[in-house]
């Protein structure tokens, strides 16, 4: 049986779609069993419907406590038989019960070369604005694991992307995302086929 991925997203879901396409076009030996979104308005929901991928909204604010939300996440990931949990622009912090239940099997893509330009508040265009403000000539992507010790997630792979003169955060974000839509599925393929291992 092919490994099962469950993707978690909060935004446009372009990486989610790239992963589904890679799976369906024979570039990724895994199936996408479902999409979890943190807010019902995420554009990713539309993509999931169009692609025929089951989707569920698990919004923290719809649960009485964070622990209940965390339990619902674990239950859903188990129901969808997730072998890997793939974060793709997912903006909620993963809860401790999910981290424990899927320890070493949760991966994320960050749009910069970690450890630079990571940490609290570093998401979306803020990352790219910070890269430009720092005068960097190069940025990129980092695919890494998430575990109980957030900041010590293991770096699985990085790709480099040039910063060009005249770039604003939007232009740089687009260049990085274009690379990410190829690179993230490639790294997932290496992961599910055991060519890269964790820890």
Closest CB to ligand GRF: residue number: 89
Binding site for ligand GRF (CB under 6 A): 9, 11-16, 88-89, 109-111, 177, 180
For residue 160, give the 3-state DSSP assignment. Answer: strand
- Residue 148: exposure state from Cβ atoms within 10 A (0-12, 13-18, ≥19): exposed
39 vs 177, beta carbon nearer ligand GRF: 177
Question: In the complex, what is the shortest distance from the CB of residue 144 to ligand GRF, in angstroms, rounded to a whole number?
Answer: 11
Q: Which residues pair with 158 in a beta bridge?
A: 142
Annotated catalytic residue within 100, 110, 128, 144: 110
105/128 with CB nearer ligand GRF: 128
Reference 182, options 15, 13, 4, 1; nearest CA is 15
CA proximity to 24, closest of 46, 45, 5:
5
Of 101 and 173, which has the nearer Cβ to ligand GRF? Answer: 173
Residue 54 contacts residue 77 (beta carbons within 8 Å): no
Minimum CB separation of residue 32 from ligand GRF in Å reads 13
128 in catalytic set: no
Instruction: Kindly list the catalytic residues.
Output: 110
């Amino acid at each position: 049986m092919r490994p099962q991925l469950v993707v978690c997203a909060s935004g446009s879901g372009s990486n989610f779609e790239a992963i589904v396409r890679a799976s369906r076009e024979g570039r990724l030996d895994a199936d996408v069993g479902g999409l979890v979104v943190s807010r019902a308005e995420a554009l990713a929901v539309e993509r999931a419907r169009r692609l025929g991928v089951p989707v569920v909204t698990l919004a923290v604010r719809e649960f009485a406590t964070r622990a209940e939300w965390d339990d619902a996440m674990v239950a859903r990931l188990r129901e969808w038989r997730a072998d890997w949990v793939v974060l793709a622009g997912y903006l909620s912090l993963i809860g401790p019960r999910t981290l424990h239940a899927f320890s070493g099997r949760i991966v994320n893509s960050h749009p910069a070369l970690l450890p630079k330009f990571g940490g609290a508040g570093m998401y979306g265009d803020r990352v790219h604005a910070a890269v430009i403000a720092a005068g960097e000539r190069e940025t990129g992507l980092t695919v890494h694991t998430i575990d109980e010790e957030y900041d010590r997630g293991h770096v699985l792979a990085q790709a480099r992307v040039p910063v060009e003169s005249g770039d604003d955060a939007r232009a740089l974000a687009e260049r990085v995302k274009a690379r990410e839509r190829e690179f993230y599925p490639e790294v997932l393929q290496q992961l599910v086929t055991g060519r890269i291992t964790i820890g």
